[in-house]
Amino acid sequence: MLLLGLTGSIGMGKSTTAKLFQEAGVPVYDADATVHKIYEGEAVPAVEAAFPGSTANGKVDRQKLSAMVVNNAEAMKRLETIVHPMLRSHQLKFLSDAEASGAPVAVLDVPLLYETGGENRVDAVVVVTTDPQVQRERILARENMTPDKLDAILARQLPDAEKRSRADFVVDTSHGLDPVRERISEILREVVKMPRRRA
C-alpha cells in the first residue's frame, strides 16, 4: 500500500480535498479529527495535569488550551509530548486497517506534515494550495478568527511556496471542486507507479 501525505496551510482547502479523496474510495486518516477525539477522551487527564484549568466537562477546552500554549514554545513542546504518542498509535491502527482492507493507496491528512518531519513517513506528498487572497478570506470568515490569530498560526506553518516546491503533487483549490476531483484522479493514477519510499 502506498501512503500519500496530504498537507497545506490553513484555509487552502485541505479538508475539502481530503473528503474528495474519500469520495474516490481512498482511506483517509484525519489528524485534526483524531486530536478532537483524544481531547474528548484519553488525553484529558494528562492535559489537565500539565495545563491546569484547560479542561471542562470532561473534555479539553481547545480555546483555553490554545490561550495557554499559542505564543509559548515550551508549553507547545510539553503539549506535543503528551499528544503525539497518542496520535501515533491511532495512526498505526488506521494504517493496519487500511492495509488489511486491500486499499492500494491511503492518505494521511496532516496539517503540519513538513513542520514535524512527517514527509519521511509517507511515500509521496500532496500539497493543497490556493490564491493567498482567497486563503485569507476563507480563514477570516471563520468564527473566533482574528488577523492576529491568523498571523500566529501562519508563523508556525512553512510558507506555501516552500511546501509546493517540496511536494510531489500540488492541488489548487482556487477554481471549484471539479478541477480538484480531476487532479485527484491523476494523482491516484500516478502514485501507484511510484516506488515506496517511506522510512
d(CA 92, CA 72): 29
Confidence at residue 71, expressed as pLDDT on a 0 to 100 scale: 82
Confidence at residue 149, expressed as pLDDT on a 0 to 100 scale: 86
Q: Does domain 1-27+105-198 have CATH number 3.30.70.260?
A: no
Binding residues for ATP: 11-16
Percent of the chain exceeding pLDDT 90 equals 78
Contacts 24+ apart (CB under 8 A), 86-91: 86/38, 86/42, 86/43, 87/31, 87/34, 87/35, 87/38, 90/29, 90/34, 90/37, 90/38, 91/29, 91/31, 91/34
d(CA 187, CA 61): 38
Confidence at residue 199, expressed as pLDDT on a 0 to 100 scale: 77
Residue 185 has pLDDT above 80, yes or no: yes
Neighbours of 48 (CB within 10 A): 17
At residue 37, what is the residue type? K
Backbone φ, ψ for residue 132 (5° rounding) = -55, -35
Burial of 42 (0-12, 13-18, 19+ CB in 10 A): middle
> In the structure, what pLDDT confidence band is assigned to residue 56 with cuts at 50, 70 and 90?
very high
d(CA 176, CA 148): 28
Confidence at residue 155, expressed as pLDDT on a 0 to 100 scale: 84
Confidence at residue 154, expressed as pLDDT on a 0 to 100 scale: 85
d(CA 185, CA 10): 24
pLDDT digit string, tens, across residues 92-116: 999 999 999 999 999 999 888 998 8
Q: What is the DSSP letter of 196?
A: P
Prediction pTM value: 0.85
User: Which whole number is the average pLDDT over 75-90?
Assistant: 93
Percent of the chain exceeding pLDDT 70 equals 100
Binding residues: 11-16
Q: Where are the domains of the chain?
A: 1-27+105-198, 33-102
